[in-house]
Amino acid sequence: MEGEKQVNVNQRAMQMWAILVLAARNRQILSYGLLAKAVGAPPVAIGGFLEPVQRYCMARTLPPLTALVVNVEDGIPGDGFIGAKDVPAAQMQVFAYDWLAERAPSADDFAEI
């Protein structure tokens, strides 16, 4: 539509961050499809939106927040996930971390990584 702004990948990453922090606080694992519905994006695009979050966590030596997003078929993250080899252990680290003590990254923070 005319005048409608496109949301860029770093703005989507901000959305993903907020949802994933809430999921971590509630000790929840999310499917790519559920996350796609939550943000109104196609499931195939979710991996690309999670990539800046993954890079940010790795650059800041944070637990791999994106480990909480899995394929519904096998319960593991997709091929683009490189945050940890042991996914269940990584998920436990994510659950244990105090994410609310971290400042939520801005779109610019994601762009800088």
What tens digit of pLDDT does each residue of 35-47 get?
A: 999 999 998 899 9
- Are 49 and 13 within 8 A, CB to CB? yes
Residue at 2 is within a domain? no
CA distance 56 to 111: 9
Specify if 62 maps to a domain: yes
In a domain, 113, yes or no: no
Q: Looking at the domain assignment, is residue 112 inside a domain?
A: no
Provide the phi-psi class of 84: left if phi over 0, else alpha when psi is between -120 and 50, else beta.
beta
Residue 1 falls within a domain, yes or no? no
Give the chain's mean pLDDT. Answer: 93
Query: pTM for the complete prediction?
Result: 0.91
User: Is 71 a member of any domain?
Assistant: yes
pLDDT, one tens digit per residue, over 61-80 is: 999 999 999 999 999 999 99
| Beta carbons of 46 and 80 less than 8 angstroms apart | no
Is 111 within a domain? no
Range of the structural domain that residue 18 is part of: 9-102
Residues in the chain: 113
Q: Is residue 31 part of a domain?
A: yes
Distance CA 54, CA 49 (A): 9
Extract the residue ranges of the chain whose pLDDT is less than 70: 1-6
Structural domain count of the chain: 1
